[in-house]
Amino acid sequence: MSAAAASTVTFESRFATELAEMGIPWKAEEVPNPRLLVLNEPLAAELGFDPGFLRSPEGLRLLIGNDVPAGAAPVAQAYSGHQFGGFSPRLGDGRALLLGEISDAGGRLRDIHLKGSGRTPFARGGDGFAVVGPMLREYIVSEAMHALGIPTTRSLAVVATDRPVQRETVLPGAVLTRVAGSHLRVGSFQYARVAGDDGLLRRLADHAIARHYPDAAEADNPYLALFDAVIGAQAALLARWMLVGFIHGVMNTDNMAISGETIDYGPCAFMDAFDPATVYSSIDENGRYAYANQPLIAEWNLTRLAEALLPLFDDDEERAVERAQESLGEFRRQYSSAWLAGMKAKLGLHGGVADDVASHLIDDLLGLLQEGRVDYTSFFRRLGSAARGNGGPARSMFTEPDAFGAWTERWRTLNPDADRMDRVNPAYVPRNHLVEEALAAGTNGDLEPLGRLLEAVTDPYNERPGVERYKEAAPESFGPYRTFCGT
């Protein structure tokens, strides 16, 4: 029965076929003893998989690419990328594969992708592997982002390979099975552009339009419409990141998706104490990807996308540049308006509150949060109680509560809506100390902390008894926190 259930999921190889120049046919490394660490049953169902089958030995072989389903044609995808500002024309999937695409229950085409599946021709010096900790981190954080309502790639499963992998120490290997609207990146367009083949660039853009922005096909200039749509999606995405305190950590152009989904969870983290300069990634020495820089970096990356797309905007280069600049101007406007609307919601302010009044209130509040190094997530949740008349819990977070008291008076005259606040201010996010606890245990074979953390963060707005410790800030003894990339 399980084999029959599996066969109802039909794989396709559209990327591999339509964009053959951008993929190298490849196979995942054979894993003799795969062991399932975590399976996302709701996502499996959404994709049409029988979870019982995925747990079976054949299912595990599918999840790690050792059995290639009919219709799939796995490829290592080629892409370029600006990494910390420096351009690498040939990056590509060094340790990942696009297995193929499937249509989900809603008829949407989704990529099934493997991370940690062995060396590919793009591996350069890397070993092609991934280890349990970072793959569980991607699973936790991507599923938390999804539950928060933030566009993201999804995690279907993490499978342990029982292969020892050399990092600073020897660590257990794992493969993540990732699901995405697509894996088209800004870097994919950069790759097509440096290939100097306008036909390829056009085919890639047409593929992106068909998959993500079909309305653009009807526009006077479909490629400019594609660019505008990506700008809109990224402006909305970045506003969501900033509002929830998410720090991606490595916003290279190869890690920015055309779909507007958050992609490539490496050294990412949720901000604890509010500070615009927060950087967690150990390799981000100059703070290029610090919390407050993220919208600027997104705009910078979109400018690189514009450069890649220029030949499609207009035959006349000057005119093409003009049109790109007009479009790029929209990013700031759309980002700012999405961010302000989101901040107003976080403060429970009604639509009728004037933007300049709200902006002043927000600026003053953020100043106070920064000064007091106040825990960002807890603060907004406690502010919901303040809107209900219980100001103590929020007030107690400030070392100098009087200034906050005065701010609260101003805010309360605007009649904040506490229920609205609870719908947008999460109680549970994957806090750094909890993520580390789950990864350390998971690496040692204890998956219970992972399961409990997932339970909390996949239902983030619904505060409930039994999971109190998941909404508390890290203990004083935790930190300073550092995350690591390329792991």
* Residues 6 or more apart whose Cβ sits within 8 Å of residue 218: none
Burial class, 18, CB count within 10 angstroms (exposed 0-12 / middle 13-18 / buried 19+): middle
Mark the segment that binds ligand AMP (CB under 6 A) among 123-131, 209-217, 220-228, 296-304: 123-131
Burial class for 373, CB neighbours closer than 10 Å (0-12, 13-18, 19+): middle
Measure CA of the first residue to CA of the last residue in the chain; give whole Å: 38
Closer residue to Mg ion (CB): 206 or 254: 254
Q: Report whether 181 contacts 154 (CB < 8 A).
A: no
Q: Does 93 bind ligand AMP (CB under 6 A)?
A: yes
- Per-residue mark of binding to ligand AMP, 253-272 (x: CB under 6 A): -xx--------x-x------
Tokens of 390: 């219980």
Size of the site for Mg ion (CB under 5 A): 2
74 binds ligand AMP (CB under 6 A): no
Do the beta carbons of residue 142 and residue 155 sit within 8 Å? yes
Q: Which stretch binds ligand AMP (CB under 6 A): 146-154, 248-256, 321-329, 417-425?
A: 248-256
In the bound state with ligand AMP, the residue whose beta carbon lies nearer, of 95 and 178, is: 95
Report the 10 Å Cβ neighbour count for 317. Answer: 11
Q: Which is nearer to ligand AMP, 169 or 477 (CB)?
A: 169
- Residue 68 is a binding residue for ligand AMP (CB under 6 A): no
The two three-digit tokens of residue 382, written as one number: 């406690």
Name the residue whose CB lies closest to Mg ion: 264
- Which residues does residue 179 pair with via DSSP β-bridges, in sequence order? 112, 154
Rounded distance, CA 143 to CA 346, Å? 22
120 interacts with Mg ion by CB under 5 A: no
Query: Of the residues 50, 206, 254, 264, which is catalytic?
Result: 254
HSE at residue 408, side-chain half, CA atoms within 13 A, is: 24
Where in 126-155 is the site for ligand AMP (CB under 6 A)? 126-129
Give least dist CB 213 to ligand AMP, A. Answer: 24
3-state SS class at 384: helix
Q: Is 118 in the site for ligand AMP (CB under 6 A)?
A: no
CB burial string 212-250: b at 16+ within 10 A, e below: bbeebeeeeebbbbbbbbbbbbbbbbbbbbbbbbbbbbb
Backbone CA torsion sign across 394, 396, 398, 404: positive
| CB of 25 vs Mg ion, minimal distance in Å | 21
Closest approach of ligand AMP to the CB of residue 484, in Å? 11
Nearest distance, CB of residue 116 and ligand AMP, angstroms: 8
Active site residue 254: yes
In the bound state with ligand AMP, the residue whose beta carbon lies nearer, of 248 and 471, is: 248
By CB under 5 A, which span of 120-128, 140-148, 263-271, 420-428 interacts with Mg ion?
263-271
Q: Does 264 interact with Mg ion (rule: CB under 5 A)?
A: yes
Question: Which residues in this chain contact ligand AMP in the complex, by CB under 6 A?
Answer: 91-96, 122-123, 126-129, 250, 254-255, 264, 266, 485-486
List contacts with Mg ion (CB under 5 A): 255, 264
* Residues with catalytic roles: 254
